[in-house]
Amino acid sequence: MKKGDLDGTGISINPVLQVNDSKPADATGNAINTAMNHVPATTAILVDGIPPTVTRITQLDPPVTKATKVRYAIIFSEAVRGFTAADVSVNKTGSMQAPVVSLAYPATDSIVVTADNINGAGTLLLSIHQTAAATDLAGNPLEASPLTSTYTIDNQKPGNTAPTVADIPDASLCADVAVHTIVVGGISAGIETDQAITAAVVADKSFFSSLTVVNNNDGTVTIRYELKARASGDVRITLTIADNGGTENGGVDRVSKSFVLSVKPMPILPIIVTPEHDIPQGAQAVLTTSGAATYLWKDEPGIVSGKNTAILVVQPMETTTYIVTGTTSEGCIASAATTIRVDVPAKFEATNVLTPNGDGINDRWVIKNISRYPNNQVKIFDRSGRLIYTKSGYNNEWDGTLNGQVLAQDTYYYIVDLGEGGKLEKGFITILRNRK
Is residue 233 included in any domain, yes or no?
yes
Backbone angles phi, psi at 176, to 5 degrees: -155, -175
pLDDT at 22: 64
Write out the H or E segment, with its range, that includes residue 303: strand 303-305
290 and 213, same domain (yes or no): no
Is residue 436 included in any domain, yes or no?
no
Is residue 166 included in any domain, yes or no?
no
- pLDDT band, very low/low/confident/very high, at 96 (cuts 50, 70, 90): confident
pLDDT at 151: 95
Amino acid at position 326, single letter: G
The string of pLDDT tens digits covering residues 120-143 is 889 999 999 877 789 998 889 998
CATH of the domain at 397: 2.60.40.3080
Contact 215, 241 (CB under 8 A): no
Which of 320, 343, 366 terminates a domain? The answer is 343
- pLDDT band, very low/low/confident/very high, at 271 (cuts 50, 70, 90): very high
pLDDT at 426: 95
Name residues whose C-beta falls within 8 Å of residue 168's C-beta, 6 or more positions apart in sequence.
Answer: 182, 184, 239, 257, 258, 259
148 and 75, same domain (yes or no): yes
Contact 114, 68 (CB under 8 A): no
Evaluate the CA torsion angle 46, 50, 52, 57 in order and state its sign.
negative
User: Residue 378: pLDDT above 80?
Assistant: yes
The string of pLDDT tens digits covering residues 161-198 is 999 999 999 999 999 989 999 999 999 999 998 999 99
317 and 408, same domain (yes or no): no
pLDDT, mean over the chain: 90
Which of 203, 236, 264 terminates a domain? The answer is 264
Domain count, the chain: 5
Listed in order, strand segments (DSSP E) in 355-404 are 377-381, 387-392, 401-402
pLDDT at 41: 61
- What domain range is 405 assigned to? 353-431
- pLDDT band, very low/low/confident/very high, at 20 (cuts 50, 70, 90): low
Contact 188, 219 (CB under 8 A): yes
> How far does Cα 413 stand from its chain's mean position?
86
74 and 44, same domain (yes or no): no
29 and 68, same domain (yes or no): no
- pLDDT band, very low/low/confident/very high, at 373 (cuts 50, 70, 90): confident
333 and 379, same domain (yes or no): no
Listed in order, strand segments (DSSP E) in 228-293 are 233-243, 254-264, 271-274, 278-280, 285-289
Q: How far apart are CA 366 and CA 395, in angstroms?
A: 8
374 and 427, same domain (yes or no): yes
User: Residue 240: pLDDT above 90?
Assistant: yes
200 and 117, same domain (yes or no): no
pLDDT at 326: 98
Taking residues 89-115, report their average pLDDT.
92
User: Residue 354: pLDDT above 90?
Assistant: yes
* Cα–Cα–Cα angle for 19, 20, 25, rounded to 5 degrees: 70
User: Residue 107: pLDDT above 70?
Assistant: yes
Is residue 159 included in any domain, yes or no?
no
257 and 279, same domain (yes or no): no
Is residue 161 included in any domain, yes or no?
no
Name residues whose C-beta falls within 8 Å of residue 217's C-beta, 6 or more positions apart in sequence.
Answer: none
Taking residues 41-66, report their average pLDDT.
83
Spatial strand order of the sheet with 311-314 comes to 271-274, 285-289, 311-314, 303-305
User: Residue 115: pLDDT above 80?
Assistant: yes
Taking residues 337-361, report their average pLDDT.
90
Is residue 395 included in any domain, yes or no?
yes
User: Residue 2: pLDDT above 80?
Assistant: no
Is residue 278 included in any domain, yes or no?
yes
Is the preceding peptide bond at 275 cis, omega within 30 degrees of 0? yes
User: Residue 205: pLDDT above 70?
Assistant: yes
pTM value? 0.56
Taking residues 33-60, report their average pLDDT.
76
pLDDT at 428: 97
